[in-house]
Amino acid sequence: MKRREDTPRTACRHFIMERDTSADMKETDGYNRRRVSSGIYCMGADGPRVMIVGNSITFHEPNADIGWEGSWGMAASAQNKDYVSLLYKKVCSVCGDAVFCVAHAGAWERAFWDTSSLNPLKTVKEFSPDVFIFRLGENILPKTCEQYSLSEGISRLVSFLTVPQKTKMIFTTCFWENPIINPIITKSAGVLGARLVELSDLGSNDKMKATGLFEHSGVAVHPNDAGMNEIARRIWEELRLML
């Protein structure tokens, strides 16, 4: 994918140049991640621009209360084992380099009907992605979908972060089966022209979860290294066609 000359490089300068030295982005970071704001980081310097908006499966800062010490996708054993890093490596193997913007959007999941839930994402609004990956849904309470339109919330999120006629999109279903949320995500993908990647079978497969590796049950139900690898493999099947 060739870099678009009209990409707002000056508006995105902090995605390229700044190096974070805070506790949640350690200097030993092999992928040279740069912190943009709380729960948001980027990596890479040039090439296709990929934005991934997700939740704890995508990125979770350390939390001693639940026994999580990592600063990457829960519950991968290391940063280079989470699905984001695996995808970044795959893209770089084809394109030489890439710019990834990774945003934790748990606040949006908990209040998708409220436009203020987009506020934490304002720092990346001008990222101008070539590819947008929607990797959300697990923290959305089904009962809120009875009161509010999740499809409208998804449309607002997409409109806020993507560029019409430029950004290609990939949506995934939830890691754990969800008969309320998954159909809405699937329908929204079709309406918005996104490719859909099915993940929900993974959450019922113990071989894909960190069962027994963490004391906290909430951490242990997350994808282990095998699960992360499979998430990356499935997304890559669509992503590689967009590069």
**Per-position DSSP letters for 19-68, written without gaps between them:** ---STTS-TT-TT--EEEETTEEEE-SSSSEEEEEESTTT-B--BGGGTB
Does 12 fall in a domain?
no
- CATH (domain of 62): 3.40.50.1110
pLDDT of residue 29: 57
Does 224 fall in a domain?
yes
Q: Quick one: average pLDDT of 50-77?
A: 97
H or E segment to which residue 171 belongs: strand 168-172
Parent domain of 140: 22-242
- pLDDT, tens digit, for every residue of 82-120? 999 999 999 999 999 999 999 999 999 999 999 999 999
pTM for the whole thing?
Answer: 0.90
- Please state the domain count of the chain: 1
**Between 174 and 14, the higher pLDDT residue:** 174
pLDDT of residue 32: 80
Does 17 fall in a domain?
no
Average pLDDT over the chain, rounded to an integer: 90
Does 146 fall in a domain?
yes
The whole-angstrom separation of Cα 179 and Cα 1 is 36
Q: Quick one: average pLDDT of 160-174?
A: 98
Does 226 fall in a domain?
yes
Does 50 fall in a domain?
yes
Asked whether 180 and 141 are in contact (CB, 8 A), the reply is: no
pLDDT band at 146 (very low <50, low <70, confident <90, very high): very high
pLDDT of residue 4: 39
Whether 80 shows a pLDDT value over 50: the answer reads: yes
Does 16 fall in a domain?
no
Does 149 fall in a domain?
yes
